[in-house]
Structure 1
Amino acid sequence: MSEPGGEAERRPDKPPRSTGGSKKRTLLAEQELRLLSTLVLLLGVGLFLALPFVLSIGSVVFLPVTAAVLLTVLLAPLADRLSSWGVPNTLASVLALIIFVAIVVLAFSAILQPAFSLFDRLPELIEQIGSRYREMQEEFAWLANANERLTDLVGESGATEVVLAGPSVFQQVAISAPVLLLEVMLTFLMAFFMVEARGRLRRNILFGRTSFGTSVKAARVLREVQDRVAAYILTVAWINLGVGIVVALGAWAMGLPAPIMWGGLAMLLNFIPYVGPLAMTGLLVLFGLGTADSVFLGMIPAVAYITLHVFEANAITPAILGRRFTMNPVMILLAFSYFTWIWGAIGALLSVPLLLMLTAFFDHVGRPNLLGFIFGEPLFQTPLIEEADESLTPSPNG
């Protein structure tokens, strides 16, 4: 006859049978999750590569929609402020859109009107640049002689150059004007209806979900995207306005014609990262060489602008925007080249706001861990995976 406590004392020595089964099920679940993550990653890469062709072919549809979404994100806070003052929702949406259009029209009129007057001086500027080029060619005559000697040694090819005549600038503008006008009209119409329906959209997000947690998370994502993009665009607009004022004052002090035009160009081009300041520098170099008496004097405006841009980009903008809006320069250039490839100059303007929207979205739903996924980590770190990892990790007490 066994002792009463013997069986109870022997039971703890036996390992539980469910532990091995639970670990096996967890490992199988991780393998299935990794397989699904691989399929999701491959689909994402395929979508990333195929999306430019779809968006570029259907730019008449997709470009106005994208621009209207960004305008809605930018103008919704202004419409909300007007509504808080007692203005009806429809009228507040119309006023917000009218204020935006008025600012854009004033900015372009300040730039285009002096630009047309400078366009009349284009033959004179070209002749002056040609004389500067001849002066530089005389200074570097030894390089031309070396090039001629190298050509004599290598030998000239008998290829014939064929030049195909293409449409002129005015013909291209006349061809693209109707499409551009249609896209602008569609953009503003969709932006108006989106701004006017912002309240209903928020209510549908909050009360149209079956789960309260999903509704709250969706509302937070919408609010974060709207606040981050609107705050970024407005902050950058104020910084670029300051840059435009400084450039206009500098152009006036240096005696350049139409200083407001130069300030407006500096402001608008500063919205395009990296490429915009380079284009502004090139314009100042060409204009300086075409109007100054010497190459040294012609380079002064460009050098002054480069100094201002370096100070603004490395001291003022990071201090004002802070870490919340800090983005990887590689990602900025990738987004710039990606959307410029799809939509040209308009895509270049929309690249940074679109990148900011995607960044705010992934901050809430989770960013893909691409590098860690290659070495065996989960593609998306979720609470279930974290709990499973903790259960598989042995405790310090054994």
Structure 2
Amino acid sequence: MDDTTSIKYSLRFLVLIALFVTAYFARDLILPLILGFLLALTLSPLSRGMTRVGIPAILSAAILITSAAVGILLVAGGTAGTLALWSDELPRIISDIRHKMSGMNDAVEQVRSVTEEVEAIGDGPNKTQTVAVEQPGIVSSAFDTLTRVGATVAVTLILAMLLLASGDLFYRKLVQVFPTMTGKKRALSTVYAIERRVSHYLLTITVINAGLGVVIGTYLALLGMPNALVWGVLAFLLNFLPYIGGFFGALLVSVLAITEFDSVGYALLAPLGYLVITSIEGQLVTPWLVGRRLAMNTVAVFITVVFWGWLWGVPGALVAVPVLVVFKVICENFEPLKTIGFFLSGDEGPLNEAKGNDDSQPASASQ
């Protein structure tokens, strides 16, 4: 490898690092833009179908985005009261858990006492002073969080509505940018492939998660857990987080179940059932409904979720898989990147199958 090639690879690596650093510090700006594009991609087939039956693009965009906004408000309104009540009762919940887990608490207390004695012996007469830094109040933190979430949701919905209302404007401009017919066809086929894959994936996952919420809510209601509707909504939302959503939901259910039921053994039926239901959904239902064409390499998905979760927290984990789907489709439609697309795929077929998929065929602008 000569010096010129080494410099090129080094510059590419530095540019990649710079992009991720920028993404980290500009999360509040970039995240709603990504969410807006993903929402527009998800709803674009529905908007195009409404346009075919004579509904103007502006009106169809307004109908779809208004429906999405109403759905968000219903979910937020249906869960906010219960979540606020749980927050107020947090001290009582912790006290109940400590009482019911008293046997384990005694053993932990003994270990803690011995640890404190050892630390006291090690410190001797010279004890360090601890300086407590006052943290922002709960009300102030909650207000800042709500403001940030509200701004993100508002920008997402407005951007998605503008993109949907524009119809095929951006597709036509994209075609005009490329000078050759081959480039025009390749760009248009890639854009439509991204639209189909992302829309199919997100719409299918949304329907699956809705069914999962109904099943989990019904199961917990049969066990006698209060607020079964809220549990169903939380299960629906948490399942958008690959891998960690089901575990966190089961952990939350176990905490509340221990406080609601007298028997710890009976209380554990709630998280166990939660894990069983989510495992069936993840291993059987989702692969069957999502389909082979959208199958992803599980290792790649896990690494992507971990990376974006580390970079942006929970919002990053939410957008990780759709962004990976977009990147995979781009790789499959451009020859230099097709090997990467093959490794990102969950298909076990040969490489030439990944190179010869039908998404590489030109798509007409009337799709």
Q: TM-score, normalised by structure 2?
A: 0.82
Residue equivalent to 1:46: 14
Q: Is 1:337 the counterpart of 2:306 in the alignment?
A: yes
Matched ranges for 1:49-68 at <5 A: 49-68=17-36
Query: Which whole-Å CA distance do the structure 2 matches of 1:113 and 1:146 have between them?
Result: 37
Q: Is 1:367 the counterpart of 2:337 in the alignment?
A: yes
Q: What are the Cα deviations for residues 157-214 of structure 1, in whole angstroms up to 9, with x where unaligned?
A: 3444443221133211223444443333322222221112231112223344321111
Residue equivalent to 1:305: 274
Deviates more, 1:249-258 or 1:101-110: 101-110
Q: Aligned Cα RMSD in Å?
A: 2.8
Q: Is 1:126 the counterpart of 2:94 in the alignment?
A: yes
Q: Which has the larger radius of gyration?
A: 1
Indicate how the Cα distance of structure 1 residues 162 and 332 shifts in structure 2: closer, same or farther if over 3 A, else same.
farther
Query: Which whole-Å CA distance do the structure 2 matches of 1:178 and 1:266 have between them?
Result: 24
Q: Which residue type is aligned with residue 337 of structure 2?
A: R
Contact residue 69 and residue 157 of structure 2 kept, 8 A:
no
Query: Which whole-Å CA distance do the structure 1 matches of 2:296 and 2:120 have between them?
Result: 49
- Identity fraction in percent: 22
Residue equivalent to 1:135: 103
SS in 2 for 1:202: helix
Q: What are the Cα deviations for residues 45-64 of structure 1, in whole angstroms up to 9, with x where unaligned?
A: 32332223212322333222
Residue equivalent to 2:63: 95
Query: Which whole-Å CA distance do the structure 2 matches of 1:145 and 1:182 have between them?
Result: 47
Q: Which residue type is aligned with residue 257 of structure 1?
A: P
Matched ranges for 1:129-168 at <5 A: 129-138=97-106, 140=107, 144=110, 148=114, 152=118, 155-157=121-123, 158-168=127-137
Indicate how the Cα distance of structure 1 residues 203 and 149 shifts in structure 2: closer, same or farther if over 3 A, else same.
closer
Residue equivalent to 1:239: 208
Indicate how the Cα distance of structure 1 residues 160 and 231 shifts in structure 2: closer, same or farther if over 3 A, else same.
same
Residue equivalent to 2:188: 219
Contact residue 53 and residue 342 of structure 1 kept, 8 A:
no
For structure 1, the 5+ residue unaligned runs are 1-30, 371-380, 382-398
- CA-CA distance at 1:78 after TM superposition: 1.4
SS in 2 for 1:156: helix
Q: Is 1:84 the counterpart of 2:84 in the alignment?
A: no
Query: Which whole-Å CA distance do the structure 2 matches of 1:342 and 1:153 have between them?
Result: 36
For structure 2, the 5+ residue unaligned runs are 341-350, 352-367
Match of 1:279 among 223, 237, 248: 248
Contact residue 125 and residue 291 of structure 1 kept, 8 A:
no
Residue equivalent to 1:248: 217
Contact residue 128 and residue 291 of structure 1 kept, 8 A:
no
Contact residue 225 and residue 360 of structure 1 kept, 8 A:
yes
Q: What are the Cα deviations for residues 48-99 of structure 1, in whole angstroms up to 9, with x where unaligned?
A: 3222321232233322221111111112111111111211111111111112
Query: Which whole-Å CA distance do the structure 1 matches of 2:263 and 2:118 have between them?
Result: 34
Query: Which whole-Å CA distance do the structure 1 matches of 2:119 and 2:7 have between them?
Result: 58
Q: TM-score, normalised by structure 1?
A: 0.76
Q: Which residue type is aligned with residue 367 of structure 1?
A: L
Q: What are the Cα deviations for residues 342-370 of structure 1, in whole angstroms up to 9, with x where unaligned?
A: 33222221111111111111111142768
SS in 2 for 1:108: helix
Contact residue 57 and residue 164 of structure 2 kept, 8 A:
no
How many pairs does the alignment contain?
337
Q: Is 1:75 the counterpart of 2:43 in the alignment?
A: yes
Query: Which whole-Å CA distance do the structure 2 matches of 1:336 and 1:303 have between them?
Result: 24
